[in-house]
Structure 1
Amino acid sequence: MSVDMFWRRVDPGVVQGLEPAELRTLVPYWYDDRFQQETTARITVGAEDTGALIGELLRLGAGDGPDAYGAWLAVDGADGLGGDHMVGVLTPEEVAKATEFLSRAEPAALMQQLRPKLAVAAREMGYKRAFDDEWAQTVVADTQDLTELFRLAGAAGEAVIVAMVA
């Protein structure tokens, strides 16, 4: 199983009324010329093969308490993400809620605390690869990049497009 996730900051007016296929064109993929430029500019974040694990780390870290909604929003809560095109949009209000949770989450500490549970989740998701130190570090780094993207989007009142490639 492989789940790549992409998040892109965008002015909310740009995405208003767009169809999923149109939204998809706004999010660069690994081999798109824009991807590296937008990553460097902290407009886009990509998580290769760690998207579902980032979501699991955040959800486990949030638990069933008041942070659960913000954790869910950051990875899986974009309106339209569950559709055929696997692309959706978080409104500025949803971005603010996710940012609020992410600003308190500490990915490295969560990984240290929850790594055994994340390893079980990876197996249950169908990953064949062992959940080793390198993979755990990649999930933490990707989560930190995601946190920074949401911090910037929240501060600017932006929407975030979320795209999943499985």
Structure 2
Amino acid sequence: MTALAAAARGVRSSVVRLPQVHGEGDHAFVPGVIDIARAKGVSAYVGDGSTRWAAVHRDDAAVLYRLALENAPAGTVLHAVADEGVPGLEIAEVIAKRLDIPTTSVPVEKAEAHFGWLGHFVASDLVGTSTLTRERFGWTPTRIGLLADLDHDYYFEVNQPS
């Protein structure tokens, strides 16, 4: 990593590793999964739904960036994880409830066919932890988790072309 290599040359740099970042204004993976569910009429999960996504609210991630700038020694890697692993089945269930559509399982080998470019991510078990980051820098996420955030209207508003 370029930032860590710079630290070896005396540059005070660090890396903040991000999981699924969520919150109002999110334009990443979760809105993509919601759009696919809306288009296909089903909210899908892969296999038995046990694949997980680590997640963090955008405001908690911002606090960690500030802590990194203020306190992290050169070459530090910080992990911005609040939810260590939210099961895909639970994500699909919240989306299904909000869109009033059924949930369905998609076999791993058909994940890319169903989810497109997101198939690899939805089918992967993407867990993480921030135990060391919390201990070393006193970072404590305080915002709502991914499932609670998914219950907000802003994730389900349909953007109309202007």
Query: What TM-score, normalized to structure 1?
Result: 0.26
More helix by share: 1
Higher strand share: 2
Q: Which has the larger radius of gyration?
A: 2
Greater relative contact order (Cα 8 A, min sep 6): structure 1 or 2? 1
